[in-house]
Structure 1
Amino acid sequence: MSSQTTDISAENDPANQPHHTSTGIRGFLDATELDTRLLGMVGALALIWVGFHLYGALVNGFGAFLTPRNLWNLSVQTSSIGIMACGMVLVIITRNIDLSVGSILGFCAITMGVLQVDVFASWLGLGHPLIWVLAAACGIALGALIGCFHGFLIAYGKIPAFIVTLGGLLVWRGAAFLVARGETISPVDSTFALLGGGPYGAIGATGSWIVGALACAAIVGLILWGRRQRRKFHSPLRPVWAEWFLGALGCGLVIGAVLLVNAYPWPRGIVNRYAEAEGITLPEGGLFISHGFAIPVLILVGVAIGMTILMTMTRFGRYVYAIGGNPEAAELAGINSRMMTVKIFGIMGGLAGLSAVVASARLNSATNSLGTLDELYVIASAVIGGTSLAGGVGTIYGAILGALVMQSLQTGMVLIGFDAAIQQVVVGSVLVLAVFLDILYRGKTK
């Protein structure tokens, strides 16, 4: 039988025909298969953004939230928490918790700072191009080793994850103080500092358009590939109009993000220094140089893509959900839950080390207090993003949206002048509310 005949027969297979018969909003959601929890989070995020912007406009006479500058900085500030939230999803799905990620971040950051200043600079010479590579690799590897150690104690030592990671919270924070004797290490390697963002830590307008074009091509490719896979496995197809809508929506969001980051220019003082160094004559109206996407944001996107593939397209991801859904059944099915626990906490530790790279590079220094209370924001991000504390349920994109919600609340409260005490009250209340809504949602879906 020819491939053309096979394609025709597959297209005519009743299982491959669109099966959505509802009308109105329900029919639209069924056809596009959009996650209602995701839509709810996007709606909540939009309300937060618009609310803070309008509040600023009413009180101060101008809105400062929905501006290219603030949204660009918001994306950079979200990166560190978002990276760790991707790992926390795995931990919570398997019915565990990790309270030590903030301390691991601080310990890895201090260790990388010491290595850059006291070790690699003396071995390789100040400004050597390998310093930032070696420092980042050591930080990520150190975080992964700590995470594996925690996982080993939990899986093979039978110590509850809460106790192990609570001890880790104290141990690694104290270890960070001992490594640097409580001193702040600054500045870090100049190339390493670019990983934290800033005018020079971004890819500019042209690079951003290239990234945007690649992202749009990937979105279209994934939609076509998904439709082909549905035909191959005789799964119901989405209507063609729904595929077009999802492709247009995805590409529209990407293009909008590119336009936004390219609308934020370098500060005038940095532009003047850059023009002087490069021998550029400044025009009368000044020189407009776009930031483009910040490197930390691209790192977060890369982590999100990698972790999504790991969780949705690999045996490892299926095992994670199986362990969280029913640990006893997973054991009976032959899944090595103990080794999986070690691997999951190792991934969490490695992502904490990567987050330490971004956080210390952004500050251009390593301090003993770096990462303090980050564990609470990471857990809150995962829970707000739909990861159930009961286990078995969670998504990477939900955790990143949760991190964006948390950071938006913090940034908005700073812009309108709320003090730190009120910020903590709001963040704690939002976390409790998110868990309550999760309980209600799961009660209705059972």
Structure 2
Amino acid sequence: MSDTAVSGPKAPAARNFFSVLQLDTRLLGMIGAFVVLCLVFNFVTDGRFLTPRNIFNLSIQTVSVAIMATGMVFVIVTRNIDLSVGSLLATCSAVMAMTQTSILPDMLGLGLGHPLIPWISILAGLVAGVAIGAFNGWLIGYQGIPAFIVTLGGLLVWRYVAWYLTNGQTIGPLDQVFQIFGGTNGTLGVTWSWILGGIAALAAAVSIFSARRRKISHEFPVKPLWAECLVALLAVVAILGFVAILNAYEIPERALQRDFRALGMEMPEGFTASYGLPVSVVVLIAVAIVMTIVARRTRLGRYIFAAGGNPDATELSGVNTRLLTVKVFAIMGALCAISAVVASARLTNHTNDIGTLDELRVIAAAVIGGTALSGGVGTIYGAILGALIMQSLQSGMAMVGVDAPLQNIVVGAVLVFAVWIDIQYRKRTGD
């Protein structure tokens, strides 16, 4: 087979350009909507929306919801729903906050600033998240209680478990190392950002051409070589462009002077430094890679999508769908714990209202990203893009001066509209 072979008859070039690239039309639609949204907000805010500073803030604000949205893809793909993710995040946050400010110092004698404190507290949060998620999955899979009811109850139960764990108090400030995962308190700087960006760009290009070679070796149809090169170029430009924008956001002079004074040094004349990639964004990238590998390259991922597409046939083929449900909700719990690390570290403390309404944002992100509520269809990158669209919408409205209640009205309306679009799209495509 020729290296440039394309299946099917050749159509007119102008009409067939995107089909030759074999890009997901839903993905293109989401990217187009995101670009339009950014341009509109940039216009109404007199150019303040697309500044490096706002893009930096937007990226760290998106991370927590985006991490949970990747897990919500698996939940919805298996024809379930999880309304408790915001409350579960709050419980995990409370567990980690109490572990590092009370339990470890008081019970184990580990003083504040001990190097083990942040890691033990993160482990405690992960254990709590996985245990609660697995318990939800057990109730759904083995006891036959509908996921809507289990997680609706969990929305109330775990929110107030978090309240009782902390006696309703704000707990903080959290450990300094722990705060690195929050955003502005933890960034890679210019040099390491470029290094990581270069590695990511190279990995993206290698992945695209490796997939091409695998298809050719199995005699599957492939895109023309120019189309592969164009897609690889777009991926590299997007990655390096994002890094360049974040590297353009300079640390304020007052913050630099404070850091130099803390070191007992005088800041050199004209010295400047930039934030670079936030550590929280790096965590999101790592989660996205792992979840994508699980979805596409593992038996667990194949079982998840098979169970969502046809549960009866999957069970008849020997798959334990009840245990599969436990695993899916345990993964969701682990991701809620990771999101709790990012969210509480960004705030530098645990608060009672942390994660409030996150269930709405997470479900909306997954649905806007193309996850079908009927099950069997969804992508990790779509959910992350959906989270970015949701956060851009909220941030843009906040910059324009829209009140918070109206912001939630718009978010709810967008969720309903996204589901309607999904229904119309599947009617047209026959999915």
Q: Normalising TM by the smaller chain, what interval?
A: over 0.9
> Is 1:148 aligned to 2:134, yes or no?
yes
> After superposition, where does 1:54-73 map in structure 2 within 5 Å?
54-57=43-46, 63-73=47-57
Letter in 1 for 2:217: K
2:205 alignment counterpart: 220
Shift of residue 287, structure 1, vs aligned partner = 2.3
Query: Matches of residues 19-418 of structure 1 in structure 2 within 5 Å?
Result: 19=7, 21-57=10-46, 63-122=47-106, 123=108, 124-198=110-184, 200-278=185-263, 281-284=266-269, 286-418=270-402
2 CA distance for matches of 1:197 and 1:25? 44
Paired position in structure 2 for 1:60: none
- Per-residue CA deviation, residues 294-346 of structure 1 (Å, 9 max, x unaligned), is 01111111101110110011111111111111111111111110000000000
Question: Where does structure 1 lack aligned partners over 5 or more consecutive residues?
Answer: 1-10, 58-62
Identity of aligned residues (%): 51
1:220 partner SS: helix
Partner Cα distance (1:195, 1:105) in 2: 15
Give the counterpart letter for 1:105 in structure 2: L
Mapped to 2, the partners of 1:114 and 1:281 lie a distance apart of 38
Question: Using the alignment, how far apart are the partners of 1:150 and 1:106 within structure 2?
Answer: 16
TM superposition score normalised by structure 1:
0.93
Task: Report the 3-state secondary structure (helix = DSSP H, G, I; strand = E; otherwise coil) of the residue aligned with 2:272.
Answer: coil
Offset at residue 279 of structure 1 (A): 5.5
Query: Shift of residue 280 of structure 1?
Result: 5.2
Q: Cα deviation per residue 1:32-65 (whole Å; 9 max; x = unaligned)?
A: 11111001001101111110110122xxxxx210
By how many angstroms is 1:281 displaced? 4.6
Deviation of 1:275 after TM superposition, in Å, equals: 2.6
Distance 1:234 1:70, change over 3 A: same
CA contact (8 A) 2:78 2:376 kept: yes
Q: In structure 1, how many angstroms separate the alpha carbons of the residues matched to 2:15 and 2:88?
A: 45
Give the conservation status (yes or no) of the 8 Å contact 2:256–2:267.
no
Q: Aligned AA for 1:147? A: G
Shift of residue 138, structure 1, vs aligned partner: 1.1
- Alpha-carbon distance in structure 2 between the residues aligned to 1:144 and 1:207: 32
Distance 2:417 2:56 in 1: 28
Equivalenced residue count is 427
Contact 1:121 1:127 in 2 (8 A): no
